[in-house]
Amino acid sequence: MISVSNVTMRYGAKILFEDVSVTFTAGRRYGLTGPNGSGKSTFMKVLTGELDPQKGSVVRPRKVGVLKQNQYEFDAYRVVDTVIMGNKGLWAALEERELIYNKPEMTDEDGSRLGELEGIVGDEDGYEAEANAAVLLQGLDIPNELHQRKMSELQGGQKVRVLLAQALFGAPQALLLDEPTNHLDLESIHWLEDFLIRYTGTLIVISHDRHFLNNVCTHTADIDYQTIITYTGGYDEMVLQKTSVRTRIEAQNEQREKKIAQLNDFIARFSAGTRSSQVNSRKKEVERLATSELARSNIARPYINFKMERPSGKTALEFEGVRKSYRQPDGKMEHVINGFSAMVQRGEKVVLMGRNAQGKSTLLKALLANAPGIEEKDVSIDSGTVKWGHEVSIGYFAQDHHGSIQRGMTAQDWLHQYDPKAAKEDIRGILGQMLFRGEEGLKRTDALSGGEAARLIFCKIMLLKPNVLVLDEPTNHLDLESINALNQAIQKFEGTVLLVTHDEDLIDETATRIWHFVGGPDNFRITDHKGTYEEYQQAAAIGAP
């Protein structure tokens, strides 16, 4: 159990939350929600003890698993050791034991201390530590051959998964996870969901993955209105309850305001007359009915609307025998895409899905090699043919999109250069849709956060009005409101979409066709299914190709 009493956090004049008291009970799984900037990560740091509250107190259990955010903190350690460090008491005992064993001669005192340390190691399941760590790593798609490697040798996404295994290690009484699904593919997310559903301690998780929150959480703690309100159920249930409560309070206040107006009218008409007792009675009634001002919500919802300048030809894309390889550090060539062919018709929404590092982004870049209007680096093809359709225009959202935004400009000027003929009011209107309101449009591109950079790229796409969208992991830096807006915009878009994502709701609600990257080096293939994600799952369940 984690208990928070009268906690307040503010920065300058901005109040994140004030006098918050909430209890997180063992056996329950809480989603911590709220828009970007509402204070989710700050509250999580207060819960972990990384930040002291400006007012109030926090009571937490002895063993707490925390997802570390610094990918480079453990670069000098083996992968398996990094996981075991999740149990601080066990790791300290193992390190001290190693120091004693490495002494040239041991004293009686050393021998006595060794006995104590062996007791700690036994109590903490230290003799099975490496085996238990291996199970977690395998579930998160870190293969056995990497377990003895240094963390510095791993890729960024792999490091994140090792740090997640660290948080899960050692049976902590509480788990505090900030964006655990970032850099995870769908299979790893499903494994994590199953693990957390079986977890019996207190779970508090921040995530922008609606499907994950709905699947895992029994309760939702929502940061809004400068406080934290706990609702029963996952994210969708929270939204319904929150909307219902807010609507009811607003309706009650409206009725009260009407009643107060009627009473004030009576008071104004008869205050100077002989009906003083009735006037006083009405004044007391007004005081009783006085409405409390509703706190403003922190939620800001962007408006994404992809329009086409003109439609493409009937066939938007046709390619045959596409091959793409990369040279490994040892000089060997790795074949990532090995002879894939397909034809994409106008209006199809194709989702590329599969495990990390299987070539989804590589295929997109290979297809963009001959694409009109694309000047991105690292887009090329080794062999095969790629033919884009008549009148195709492409809006591209790269996975590493931040690097494609020129520095040293304002957001407004950067956007305007893509359509110099556009009126400044139109540019400001598009920026406003994506929450760059007022002076925000003058923010320097050097200072943009990941989420702001992503929203600016969407501004560019909406300005250019392409008929084909090529989106590579577009949700990575977006909050739930922005992801929901993107989901709806893709559903309404009348053009063609190629989309790489691990967001299951986005796949389920937008895809009309699936390219599934499956298998390993010896049996790799891309399954092409024409139909929805639900239909693909049904076909896969009965073994259909």
12-36 pLDDT, tens digit per residue, is: 878 888 899 999 999 999 999 987 7
Tell me the three-class secondary structure of 290-301, residue by residue: CCCCCCCCCCCC
What's CA 163's distance to the chain center, in Å?
16
% of the chain at pLDDT higher than 90: 54
What's CA 429's distance to the chain center, in Å?
27
Residues 78, 146 contacting (CB under 8 angstroms): no
Pairing assessment for the beta strands 496-500 and 468-472 based on DSSP bridges: parallel
Length of the chain: 545
Span 404-423, mean pLDDT?
A: 92
Q: What does the pLDDT read at residue 477?
A: 82
User: In whole angstroms, what is the distance from residue 313 CA to residue 332 CA?
Assistant: 41
Tell me the three-class secondary structure of 135-193, residue by residue: HHHHHCCCCHHHCCCEHHHCCHHHHHHHHHHHHHCCCCCEEEEECCCCCCCHHHHHHHH
Span 132-147, mean pLDDT?
A: 92
Residues 495, 466 contacting (CB under 8 angstroms): yes
- DSSP class of 310: S
Place of tokens 């406080």: 227
Mean pLDDT of the chain, nearest integer? 87
Q: What does the pLDDT read at residue 250?
A: 63
- Comparing 195-204, 244-253, 292-301, the range with the smallest average pLDDT is 292-301
Q: What does the pLDDT read at residue 275?
A: 65
Long-range CB contacts for residues 196-199, cutoff 8 Å, separation at least 24: 196/29, 197/29, 199/29, 199/175
Question: What is the pLDDT confidence band of residue 453, given thresholds at 50, 70 and 90?
Answer: very high
User: In whole angstroms, what is the distance from residue 43 CA to residue 53 CA?
Assistant: 9
Span 297-305, mean pLDDT?
A: 81
Q: Which two tokens stand for residue 450?
A: 């990941």
Residue of 174, 168, 214, 172 lying closest to 195 (CA atoms): 168
**Continuous segment of H or E residues that includes residue 453:** helix 450-464
User: In whole angstroms, what is the distance from residue 75 CA to residue 77 CA?
Assistant: 6
pLDDT of residue 545 exceeding 60, the answer is: no
User: In whole angstroms, what is the distance from residue 396 CA to residue 320 CA?
Assistant: 22
| Cβ within 8 Å of residue 179, ≥6 positions away | 67, 206, 207, 208
Residues 205, 177 contacting (CB under 8 angstroms): yes
User: In whole angstroms, what is the distance from residue 354 CA to residue 515 CA?
Assistant: 9
- Burial class from Cβ neighbours inside 10 Å (0-12, 13-18, 19+) for residue 274 reads exposed
Span 257-269, mean pLDDT?
A: 75
| Cβ within 8 Å of residue 492, ≥6 positions away | 305, 306
CATH of 315-541 among 1.25.40.10, 3.40.50.300, 3.40.50.720, 3.90.105.10: 3.40.50.300
In degrees and rounded to multiples of 5, residue 230 shows phi and psi of -100, 130
- Burial class from Cβ neighbours inside 10 Å (0-12, 13-18, 19+) for residue 422 reads middle
Span 504-509, mean pLDDT?
A: 94
pLDDT of residue 293 exceeding 60, the answer is: no
* Residue 40 half-sphere exposure toward CB, CA atoms < 13 A: 24
pTM comes to 0.79
- Tell me the domain boundaries of the chain: 78-159, 239-289, 315-541
